Structures are given as structure tokens and as C-alpha cells.
Structure 1
Amino acid sequence: MTITLTEEPLAPTRLLRAVENELEAFLSGKRARAADGTTGEPAAALADFVLRGGKRVRPLMCLCGWAAARAGRPAPTPDAPPVEGARPTDQAPPEVVRAAASLELFHAFALIHDDVMDNSDTRRGAPSLHRLLASRSGRTTDAADERFGRCAALLLGDLAFSWADEALHTAGLPPRRLAAVLRIQDVMREELMAGQYLDLVAGRSAAADLGTALTATRLKTAAYTFQRPLQVGVALAGGDAALHEACGAYGLPLGEAFQLRDDLLGVFGDPAATGKPVGDDIREGRNTVLVALAVARADRTQRAVLSRTLGRPDIGEADIERVRRVLVDTGAREETERMITERLHKALDAVRGALFPDDVRDLLAAFADQAARRDR
């Protein structure tokens, strides 16, 4: 997904620049502190991974939630009483930007562990971290290299988890606001783990299940990517329950649309654009909504194609093309597109409510359209 950049007060380029600067400052400090010790190489490898790129969706959603809740309040002092006429788009204060950046560090943990679990070769157009570490291991056999890479990546994922907590707890948030953020963060983390676990359980079954696939999508993508980061931002500004609910009404359907688009790109996308190999979901036998729809609609011949192909890491391009044909012929691809459009409209309806100030509403609406229709 390409985020359209503008220079308006509440614009992705302004918000993302603040987050990027905070990440660079935090990670530079980590590199400097670790440079003379045994943690120098791991710290540098993790910092490089975080700064390699990425959409920074979660920090952006967090800052949008903060801006929505700050409507009518001045930016510099989070606990100040409302002031008539203050703009919600004033630059977020440093403690809010750091809290938003902490979500990206947590996301690094999730990506690293996810790539290990999925045995993914690439991430963001470059080798996944466990592959990169395996190439540096200095071991004498391929098996030893692979084991080193996976084990080292798991440790660095844990380190990213720790750094996310450190960044949040050292942001300088008032205790009441920090406590509110932690309550949401705890739920978000439980939801992500539950969604990932459902994915693992589904991968052990020969039958793809639409209900399980939708539940996993809601937990590990919709809530984690959009709803909870928005609500973290609202909590940072002391927003009320109605705004928290509105963030869910926007974030959940958009997050589902985002994941459904990801499922399509994983099979039909362009690797040069997505930065990931096409067909990995098929080789891994992932229980995506797209696959579950195809299994439910397939005739005997189509079901046989899916049965002998899904979950086989050794299949070639010809096998993947046969699965693509089944996904098209059963109408699974078309139905997934319809589901994306339906959820996009739900998200847009939710964000048009009076609870969101105009600039936040415009940004969230534009972001929703890009997220649902992206090609990467």
C-alpha cells in the first residue's frame, strides 16, 4: 500500500515523519549503548529490520485516534481542560509520538515471529530476519545455519517486544493515561496471540473453515492493525467511550478488508510490488477466507486440486496456477472482492459520524480507500 503524502496539518507525511524520527532516535540510543558489548550485533540487526521500511499503519492510526480525541483541547498538556476553538491537528507532543512509535516496535516482534512460524523467505522486499541471520551464522551445515537463524530471530523478536514496552513506559505519560493505554494494549496482545494460534490450529486441519478464517482475521489483523491502535490514541488524549466505540466500528471492518486484500495479493499479486513471494499461502496451506470460500464451493475435481496442492512446500508455479484457476472458477476471488467492498463501505459509514473532526475524518476515509484497494 502506498500512502498518499501531503503537507496538511494532519497528513501522513507529517505524522509518519514524526514517528520515523522517534524510532531512529530510540534505536540509535540502543545501538550506542550496545556497541561495546555482546549485544551490539543483535541490537544493530533489530534496528536495521525496524528501519528497513514498512507502512507504519499502527502508529498512524494511533495518532489519528489521538487527534480525534484532542478536538477542542490544546496539544501540549494532555490533562488540560478543554479550550474552545483549539485545533485537533496541532503537532502531537513527544510523549504521544513515542507511544505511537512503540506500536511499531511491537509490530516488529509480531513480524519476526510470524516469518519464523511461516518459514517465510522475504519481508519488505528483502530476506526475512531469520534468513538473514542464518546467512551470517558461520555454521558448517545448512541445517545448523537454519537452526541458528530461527533461534536468533526468535530472540530478536523477544527483544523487540521488550523495547516496545520500554518505549511506552519511558514516554513520560501521566500515570492515568498510561494505565488506560495498557488496558487496551493488553487486550490487543491477547487478541493477536489468539488469532495466530487459530491460524496454527487451522493449518493442522485438512478442511478449510470460513468461520475460523474470519475469526482469525478479526483478531490478528482487524483489531490489532486498526481498532486497538486507534483506541490507544484515544486513550492517550483521554477520549470518551463513544469515540472508542466509533474507532471499533471503523477499524474492525477496515481491518478485515485489509486482510482480505492481503489474501488476494498473496495469490494474485505482483512480488515486485508486494515484496513477498506469491503462492506462499498456498504452500503453507493457510486457512484464508479466500481458500475457505473455494473449498466450500469446489466440485469434486476442483477439490482434488486443492487437496493435493495446499500445504505442500515443494509445489511449483504450474501447481500454483492450477489453484489460482480454482479460486477464480469457484467464484472465491470474486466473492472476496465483494466482501472487501462491503467492509470498506461499513468503515466509511462509521468514520462519517459526527464524533470525528473533519481533518481526521478525511484522512481516515482516504486511508480506508487505499488500504482496501492497494496492490502491495
Structure 2
Amino acid sequence: MTWDPTDFRAAVGETLERFVDEQALRLAPLGDDAARLVDAARASVRGGKRFRAAFCYWGYRAVREPEDEQALVRATAALELLHASALVHDDYMDASDTRRGRPATHKAFEALHREQGWSGRPEQYGAAAAILLGDLLLSWSDELLRRCGLPHDLVRDALTWFDTTRSEVIVGQFLDVSVQARGESDVELAMLVLRYKSAKYSIERPLDVGAALAGGSPEVLAALSAVGLPLGEAFQLRDDVLGVYGDPAVTGKPAGDDLSEGKRTVLVALALGSASPEQARRLDAQLGRELSAAEVEELREVITASGAQAEVERRIRALTDQALSALGTAPIQEASRVVLRELAEAATQRLV
């Protein structure tokens, strides 16, 4: 197979559409409410860069060529269902109004409740819908991997890594919520949250799942982890930069969204530690508040002047170099090495 990322994203998207269609038929007897939830699931899995599916795919091809391309794509798509689940829950926990330029799930169902004039609180209905949709997507991710069509013994081995992935991302999310609740801004703590909330499940674990599906040896899995963890950290640090400096027209999120949500990222922790006492107090006081465009720009200037943005860029490059160095010596198929290098650059230098 010649690697074409556009074709691969399309194949994953089509796989997810077919899978949701299957679920829609299964759940049709439950009526209109079930159909609304399934429609929301369909919307939640559309779009995105499909990085997790791509790293899973090339984790497999690091070991060997696929005999059943369609089954492998189905397996990789399970990672995208897990990602969609995490985003639905994350948007509610962060009180985010939008996702990829559309209303977040809890906001969409809240609006539906209000438009229909139903009883009870629209906000509570929206929250319930987001929780249940995230749970449904999480359940489907397991189902799709189990039913992907690859040999059962290899799927069993991959599920062990997939179980670890889901536990890490859920507990990592709780670490993030807890850090924000306490208002802690420590760089090492922020890195711990970053590692378990996002870095591992974005790149390292998809590589592990893919290699396990191919029957990869412990040596290969360890080598891929040495690539995936620093690369995943660089990936999330890039996301943190975009959460403050990203263009809303490109990211689909409001300007400075991470600041309004009060996220205690590595970028913010570095800024609080390096800014003048007055600027640090200003930044800390504004985190988690609804901010005007002028206030967002003011806080961006504080972060930039503190040197935090430059330091995060330095860390992104250093972590990417570490991952690429490990990739260069990993005992994997050469085709995989070439494409993983391309994916590494795409993941860490992206604009969205």
C-alpha cells in the first residue's frame, strides 16, 4: 500500500460511518430519542486529523504488512471512537461551548431541550446527554476493536494495551480536573497531567495497540514506546500553544479558549513561574474567567513576555528530536520508519 494520509483519513471516516449505521439499525426500535443520540455520535466522529488511527496503523506496519487491510482499518478506527468519547466528556468538564466549529454535545442537547420547551433544566439534560454519549462511544470503541476481523489471539493481546489506554486517559482527565480545582500551577505536575491525559493515548498507546495486533515482540513494543511517549508529549505541548495562540477560524475553538477554561497547562505554569509578580497575579486571577478579545490578547502578551511560549517551543523541538532519534534505531520495518517520521512532523508542527 502507498501511504496517502488523505485516503487513509477517508477510509477511517467511512469505516466509522458504517459502524454507526450498524448501531443505528440495532437501536432503531428505541425510537426518536435513541436516534438523536446516535446522530450526535455520528457528528462526534466526523472530522479530525485521525492521528491516533494513523499511529495505530503504522504501529502494525512497524512489524509486518497487513493481510487484511479492511480489518486493520477497523481496528485503528476504534482509537478514534475512544478519542471522540474523551472529547465529548472533556467539553462538558471544561464547559466548552464548541468543538470543531460546532456546538459541543452538551450545548446542542441543552439547546434542543430549550427549543422543545421540555420540563426540567436544559443544562441538566445537556449534561446527561454528554455523559451518556461519551459512555456510548467508549463502549463502541471496545466493540469495534473486538469485532475488527483480525485474529482473535492478536486482538486479545491488543485489548490489554487498549484497556491500559482507557484507564490512563480517564484517570489523567481526573488529575487535570483536580489540578484545576486546586489552582495548582507546577510545571512538573502539568507535565504529569499532559502525559496521562493526552500524550500516551494520542501516540504511544496507538503504536502499542497496532504493534500488538501484528504480533510484535516486547523489543519492538519497547522501541515504539521510546518513540511514542516523547512524541506524544510534544504533540500535546503543541495543542497547549494552540489553545492560547491558535486562530479560531482554524482551530474551531474561541480565541484563548484554554485561558477562559482555566487550564493549568505547562505553558501557563511556565508563564506564572517566569512573569513578574504583578503579571503573574494578573494571569492567575484571569484564568477560568470569560475573557474579552482584548483580555485574551493582554494575557497572550504576558505569556510571551515571560518567555514561556519560547520555552514550550524549545521543549517541543527537543522532545521531537528525542522521538526521531529513537525512531532511527528502532528495529522496525523501513516503510514504517519513513511514514512515522512524516507523522511526527505533522503532529508537532500542526496549526490545528
Which of the numbers 149, 159, 174 marks the counterpart of 2:136?
Answer: 159
Report the secondary structure of 1:69's partner residue. Answer: coil
Residue equivalent to 2:55: 61
Q: Is the 2:96–2:261 contact (alpha carbons within 8 Å) kept by the matching residues of 1?
A: no
Within the candidate set 27, 30, 37, 1:34 is matched to 27
Q: What is the match of residue 99 of structure 2? A: 123
**Pairs aligned (count):** 349
Q: Name the SS for the 1:290 alignment partner.
A: helix
> In 2, are the aligned partners of 1:46 and 1:156 still within 8 Å (CA)?
yes
Structure 1 residues 287-334: Cα deviation after superposition (integer angstroms, max 9, x where no partner): 10000001111222112211321122x332222222111101110011
Structure 1 residues 213, 141: closer, same or farther in 2, change over 3 A? farther
1:82 match = none
CA contact (8 A) 1:11 1:363 kept: no
Equivalent residue letter for 1:44? D
Corresponding position of 1:335: 311
Question: Please, which moves more after superposition, 97-106 or 36-45?
Answer: 36-45
Q: How does 1:13-24 map to 2 (within 5 A)?
A: 13-24=6-17
User: Contact 2:223–2:330 at 8 Å: present in 1 too?
Assistant: no
Task: Please report how far the alpha carbon of residue 241 of structure 1 lies from its aligned counterpart in structure 2 after TM superposition.
Answer: 1.0
Q: CA deviation at 1:141?
A: 8.7
Q: Does 1:180 align with 2:174?
A: no
* Corresponding residue of 1:347: 323
Asked if the contact 1:56–1:104 (Cα under 8 Å) also holds between the matched residues in 2, the reply is: yes
Cα 1:278–1:139 shift into 2, 3 Å: same
* Aligned-residue identity in percent: 42
Distance (whole Å) between structure 2 residues aligned to residue 221 and residue 165 of structure 1 = 19
Task: Give runs of ≥4 in structure 1 deviating > 6 Å.
Answer: none
Match of 2:73 in 1: 97
Instruction: Provide the TM-score with structure 2 as the length reference.
Output: 0.94
1:49-96 deviation line (CA, Å, top 9, x unaligned) = 212x1111111111101111115xxx32xxxxxxxxxxxxxxx43332
> What displacement does 1:36 show?
4.3
**Map of 2:18 onto structure 1:** 25
For residue 12 of structure 1, report the CA deviation from its aligned partner.
Answer: 1.8
Say yes or no: does 1:12 pair with 2:5.
yes
Question: Among 172, 176, 198, which residue is 1:221 paired with?
Answer: 198
Matched, 1:44 2:39: yes
Pairwise CA distance, 1:248: 1.0
Residue 368, structure 1, aligned to residue 330, structure 2: no
- Tell me the distance in 2 between the aligned counterparts of 1:296 and 1:207: 12
Q: Take 1:308 and 1:111, find their aligned partners in 2: how far apart are those partners?
A: 27
In 2, the alpha carbon distance for the partners of 1:320 and 1:165 equals: 40
Contact 2:161/2:208 (CA < 8 Å) preserved in 1? yes
Selected match of 2:286 from 304, 309, 320: 309
Do 1:10 and 1:359's aligned partners in 2 also have CA atoms closer than 8 Å?
Answer: no
**Aligned partners of 2:321 and 2:6: how far apart in 1?**
25
Which ranges in structure 1 are unaligned for 5 or more consecutive residues? 1-7, 77-91
Superposed displacement of residue 140, structure 1: 4.0
1:297 counterpart residue number:
274
Q: Which residue of 2 aligns with 1:133?
A: 109
C-alpha contact 1:195 1:216 (8 A) present in aligned 2 = yes
Question: Take 2:253 and 2:219, find their aligned partners in 1: how far apart are those partners?
Answer: 39
Q: 1:143 & 1:277 partners in 2: Cα distance?
A: 29
Give the corresponding residue for 1:193. Answer: 170
Structure 2 contact 224–330 (Cα < 8 Å) conserved:
no
Query: Which amino acid counterpart does residue 128 of structure 2 have in structure 1?
Result: C
Give 3-state SS (helix, strand or coil) of 1:136's partner: helix
TM-score by length of 1: 0.88
Q: Secondary structure at the match of 1:110?
A: helix
1:281 and 1:118 map into 2 onto residues whose CA distance is 9
Whole-Å separation in 1 of the counterparts to 2:112 and 2:288 = 29
Cα contact 1:58–1:103 (8 A) shared by 2:
yes
Deviates more, 1:335-344 or 1:38-47: 38-47
User: For residues 338 and 112 of structure 1, what CA distance do their matches in structure 2 show?
Assistant: 31
Structure 1 residue identity aligned to 2:278: T
Flag the structure with higher helix content. Answer: 2
Q: Which runs of 5+ in 2 are unaligned?
A: none
Match of 1:83 in 2: none
Post-superposition shift, 1:143?
A: 8.3
The amino acid of 2:13's aligned partner reads: E
The residue type paired with residue 56 of structure 1 is R
Which deviates the most, 12-21 or 40-49?
Answer: 12-21
Match among 189, 211, 225 for residue 188 of structure 2: 211
Query: Matches of 1:355 and 1:125 in 2, distance apart?
Result: 41
What is the identity, as a one-letter code, of the residue corresponding to 1:250?
A: V
Q: Which amino acid aligns with 1:64?
A: W
